[in-house]
Structure 1
Amino acid sequence: MSLFIINENTNFEHIIGILFNNWTALKLAIDHGMGGSLEMTHFKITDLIKNIHDFLQKSGNESCWTGVSDIIEDVMDVGFDVVLEDLSADDLGKHICKVYCDWNQSIQSRLHVIEELRSMPITIPIQVLPIKPSQSKNKKEDSSSSDEDHESDLEEGWTVVKHK
């Protein structure tokens, strides 16, 4: 992972990524594999951040937080099979819109946003790094045929239980 530094020239998509990296609902969905494979989860998160950023740019500083919240809820529901009942998508949508407005006001406002981001528990954008195909290929080459059957069962979400 490369060193990430927040400054006044930071791309706003990275800021959205930092906010998502501090949001428990998305982190739990990722940890529990609700987004599918790592590659698919990476794609969904990248697409979510891009869609929110595009929405904010089209809406301008007058953006409505409900639009951002709707995007978040739709992706969590369809992409991660998670129904949010705690209104955290609304809270996050409001926060993203506030930060976006502040970010676009002035250099002084950007410095304030940077200080706010630096005070968060996690100060890097959310990342889900796909597994390199060579790693999973090597694992299969090293295992016996019965282990391969067991691995394929685990990949499909099934666990083989053997009698004693």
Structure 2
Amino acid sequence: MANSKDFFLSVTQRVLSNWTALKMAVEHGMGSKERAEDFCPYITEVMFINDGLTANEIAAEIEDYMDTEFNTELQDESSIQVAEELLRFYNYCKEGDESTAMTEFEKLPPLQIWITARQTIKQVGNQSMAENNGDSSGSSTEEDEDMEVSEPGWTEVKTRRKR
């Protein structure tokens, strides 16, 4: 797999965006949405730097992040389930098994948009992948001219209709 790290980041985003514990931590104000967004590249980097991690070691890293960044202590086995899912895809990437990886990727629940507020959606195969995009270059259309950035990560959309 030529871009296995990018592909694995999209897997991480899908898995974590569908993880109830993370979503609830954000919704209940235990940590910011930005911390949840940063969790995806963080865990991707941890797995690619530390080759040979076990599911238990990955789960421990996930639990540490949740404790540190979200002041949340997990009392269920969801961290090990998340770790096993990530490890499965990591192994596909490591082995270069692109066809199995893409087939299994399509079986994952769809990316939940709540985790991608600062990101744009990009196509990977037939599936979408979130990608950080700080570049605002490109052609401007009439619709773009009606949008105004009020805060980083937020775009205010104004109506064209005259009142």
Q: Same fold (TM over 0.5)?
A: yes
Q: Which residue matches 1:63?
A: 53
Name structure 2 gaps, 5 residues minimum.
119-148, 157-163
Question: Which residue among 88, 102, 108 is the counterpart of 1:114?
Answer: 102
Distance 1:68 1:97, change over 3 A: same
Alignment of 1:15-164 (within 5 A): 15-36=11-32, 41-42=33-34, 44-60=35-51, 62-106=52-96, 109-123=97-111, 127-129=115-117, 132-133=150-151
Alignment partner of 1:84: what SS? coil
Q: Which amino acid aligns with 2:28?
A: H
Distance 1:126 1:119, change over 3 A: farther
Report the alpha carbon displacement of residue 35 of structure 1 after superposing the two structures with TM.
Answer: 0.9
Distance 1:16 1:115, change over 3 A: same
Distance 1:125 1:101, change over 3 A: farther
Structure 1 Cα separation of the partners of residues 16 and 88 of structure 2: 15
Structure 2 Cα separation of the partners of residues 103 and 128 of structure 1: 23
Q: Which amino acid aligns with 2:108?
A: M
Structure 1 Cα separation of the partners of residues 82 and 59 of structure 2: 7
Report the alpha carbon displacement of residue 132 of structure 1 after superposing the two structures with TM.
Answer: 4.4
Q: Which has the higher strand share?
A: 2
Q: CA RMSD of the aligned region, Å?
A: 3.1
Provide the TM-score with structure 2 as the length reference: 0.61
Q: Which amino acid aligns with 1:14?
A: S
Q: Is the 8 A contact 1:16 1:125 kept in 2?
A: no
Structure 1 Cα separation of the partners of residues 84 and 3 of structure 2: 23
Count of aligned pairs between the two proteins: 123
Distance 1:132 1:19, change over 3 A: farther
Higher RCO (Cα < 8 Å, 6 or more apart)? 1
Q: Which has the higher helix share?
A: 1
